[in-house]
Structure 1
Amino acid sequence: MWTNSQLKANGLMNFKKNRWACIVVTIILGICVGGTASGSANSASNNEETMQELMDKLTPEIIAAIVGVIGIAVIIGIILDIILFNVLEVGCQRFFIVNRAVENAQISEVTFGFKNNWMNIVKTMFLKDLYLFLWSMLCFIPGIIKAYSYRLVPYLMAEDPNMSSNEAITLSRQMMNGQKMNAFVYDLSFIGWYLLAIITCGIAGVFYVFPYKNCSDAELYTAIKETYNPNVQNY
């Protein structure tokens, strides 16, 4: 049975042997999953006066135009997520799987999904996200549980892009049966590293914590795959 310390030791070793490639792929993966989103705040009093002036100038036509632009931007974002970022996410996980097996995995692995059954990857990742969204609409806790159930889908597609959507999602759920709490505890073991990333304004996160975590996640996937027994159902 795998242990968190073992996974993290192997992950750290895999990170150090190919440091800069892991950092670059981690940045790409962060963009794909929205990890680079940020916001800003201004003075409340100044905002209040400015907003009042803008509200006085707004007409129904201007409001309709703003809503239309926002709607188009949202639609474009969703389309890019489905056909581009999800596929890149699979490619990034492909890189981390390969990186644990060879000395010098190439960054070009991130394009794997565009060269190997792209449409099937798009469909599978879309369905995974859709199911997760629907479960999250029910309640916060079911959404978290299902996130762990579907956690392995990108890795499965990275290893076998010809696997059907139903097979990949079902297999991920079956492989995570009995492993969700273990994976949750594994994730919690990185809290100290996340705090370090926050304290250093993300610098430690980009150049150490997140690449280290991604390499360890590939170890987690491999460990679960190697211990999975389809004849034993654990809940």
Structure 2
Amino acid sequence: MWSRSELKGRAKWVLKQCYWKAVLVSLILAVITGELFGNSGSNREISKTINENGGMPYLAFIITTIVAILMVLVVIGIVIDIFFFGPLEVNIRRFFIISRVEPADLNELGFSFKNSYMNVVKIQFLRGLFNFLWYLLLIVPGIIKFYEYRMIPYILAENPEMDSQEVFRLSRDMMNGEKWNTFVLDLSFIGWRILGALTCGLLLVFYVCPYQNLTNVELYDVLKNKLFGSANAE
């Protein structure tokens, strides 16, 4: 049985060994997952001076153009998310996995782009798609599935060539009976995140995000050893 204090204690020790790299990599992860900055669009006013004869068609043209541009941007964003951000998240998890046992090189951020790239892309895409579909049903099942899929990026970080069914099965087995404990572990960082918000994100960048990322890696290591340790015992 693991405890939050043990995971956090080990995470703090690792953070001291690789502080600046951990800050940089955590910042990248926070940006690509939207963890640090929310989507805040700026409201722009359209001039109300519309010519009676030609104004409405012109306004319709402007609105149609804006909608078309937004749709193109959404498609581009989805493509970037699937083919770049998904694999990059796996690489970042790998960086933290290595950091807990030895100094990790920033070159690890390119790992999955050179190792079973399309397999990583496919599995990360399926993870996001399944999460989205479960959330469409109800919030609670969506949250449960979110935690069930929690270990997928970590598994891919060590096994980028693994079959998708096996990856999902391993994540499900690792999180079996651990979803609530992991949820409580996440809740234990709420105080830090409130303080981070009060510092305009500075505390998040320079301490909270790397601290939490390293704690999550410690959790992955514990659950992996628990699963395979029990398997070996059998």
- Tell me if TM exceeds 0.5: yes
Q: Equivalent residue for 1:79?
A: 79
Measure how far apart 1:134 and its partner are.
Answer: 0.4
**Counterpart-to-counterpart distance in 2, 1:96 and 1:54:** 56
Measure how far apart 1:223 and its partner are.
Answer: 0.6
Secondary structure at 1:37's aligned position in 2?
coil
Q: Which runs of 5+ in 2 are unaligned?
A: none
Secondary structure at 2:86's aligned position in 1?
helix
Residues 1:145 and 2:154 are matched in the alignment: no
Q: Equivalent residue for 1:16?
A: 16
Secondary structure at 2:145's aligned position in 1?
helix
Secondary structure at 1:59's aligned position in 2?
helix
Measure how far apart 1:40 and its partner are.
Answer: 6.3
**Counterpart-to-counterpart distance in 2, 1:65 and 1:190:** 43
Measure how far apart 1:39 and its partner are.
Answer: 2.3
- Cα deviation digits, residues 79-105 of structure 1 (max 9, x gap): 000000001000000000000011x21
Q: Equivalent residue for 2:198?
A: 199
**Counterpart-to-counterpart distance in 1, 2:197 and 2:7:** 23
- Cα deviation digits, residues 139-170 of structure 1 (max 9, x gap): 11111111000000000000100101111112
Residues 1:39 and 2:40 are matched in the alignment: yes
Q: Which runs of 4+ in 1 moved over 3 A?
A: 54-58, 229-232
**Counterpart-to-counterpart distance in 1, 2:231 and 2:174:** 8
1:53 corresponds, among 48, 72, 96, to: 48
**Counterpart-to-counterpart distance in 1, 2:226 and 2:214:** 19
Measure how far apart 1:37 and its partner are.
Answer: 3.4
Measure how far apart 1:20 and its partner are.
Answer: 0.3
**Counterpart-to-counterpart distance in 2, 1:230 and 1:171:** 12
Secondary structure at 2:48's aligned position in 1?
helix
TM-score normalised according to structure 2 size: 0.90
**Counterpart-to-counterpart distance in 1, 2:129 and 2:39:** 24
| Aligned length, in residue pairs | 225
Using the TM superposition, name which of 53-62 and 16-25 deviates more: 53-62
Using the TM superposition, name which of 85-94 and 23-32 deviates more: 23-32
Question: Kindly tell me: are residues 141 and 52 of structure 1, through their superposed partners in 2, closer, same or farther at Cα, counting changes over 3 Å?
Answer: farther
Measure how far apart 1:38 and its partner are.
Answer: 4.5
Taking every aligned residue pair, what percent have the same amino acid on both sides?
A: 44
Q: Which residue type is aligned with residue 135 of structure 2? A: S
Root mean square deviation, CA, Å: 2.0
Measure how far apart 1:231 and its partner are.
Answer: 9.6
Q: Equivalent residue for 2:127?
A: 128
